[in-house]
Structure 1
């Protein structure tokens, strides 16, 4: 019984979030590009295949995404010095600037959403989401 209502409310939240992010990240970023930049910012240079779990997509789609990001000067791809078959993806100075801008946009939006409920309920919501996802 709660499943239908949960799905409906989650759908509303996700559509609102996606719409807000798409509009405010444009024209230099997409939500997928922001995800890549965040991984590179946190973990350093990665192989394209290392990015797949963070994006829930196919290797071909990652390659196309990285192509666009390289054209936009958000990332750089370099061949490994010892094994030329390996390509390393790293964030550029422009990518660092854009990831900070994207995080700010997301933070402002989520703060606005969460400001509708008390601090206690925010903590409870995060706790319950952790239980649902198995993260806590």
Structure 2
């Protein structure tokens, strides 16, 4: 009984978040692109290769290449070859990418705060703690 109720609530929250993000990020950004931009910001000043994104996006190398192609065309990222080993391609954040990342994170934060604002600060902390336990984090 509890698992089915949890599944329903999780699905609803996930669906609401996906829908909100899709509408608010369009037309310049998708959730997958936001994930790439966030990873680039988090890992600064280290550079990242396309293969570094696979674990975070749970997709194929070909799909990552297509995603990065679209992002480069949109001016969100740049790619450059390594000076010492030309086989290595580095993914770099552009100024536009940084700005769009900040916008995307703000959109998500606002949405989540509107949901979490329905419960007390103490219960927000408890919810995060319990979800951490469920997620084994």
> Into which bin does the TM-score normalised by the smaller protein fall?
over 0.9
Count the aligned residue pairs. 135
- Cα distance in structure 2, aligned partners of 1:122 and 1:56: 29
Q: Secondary structure at the match of 1:28?
A: coil
In structure 2, distance between residues paired with 1:91 and 1:51: 14
SS at match of 2:79: strand
TM-score computed with the length of structure 1 as normaliser: 0.97
Aligned to 2:112: 110
Would you say 1:20 and 2:4 are equivalent positions? no
What CA distance in whole angstroms lies between the structure 2 residues aligned with 1:125 and 1:61?
34
Residues 97-131 of structure 1 show CA distances to partners (whole Å, capped at 9, x for unaligned) of 00000011001000001001111110100000110
Q: Return 5+ residue gaps in structure 1 as ranges.
A: none
Q: Deviations over 1:61-102 (max 9, x none)?
A: 100000000000000000000110000001000001000000
Superposed structure 1 runs of 4+ greater than 2 Å apart: none
- Structure 2 SS opposite 1:81: coil
Unpaired runs of at least 5, structure 2:
none
Q: Secondary structure at the match of 2:78?
A: strand
Deviation at 1:6, TM superposition (A): 0.6
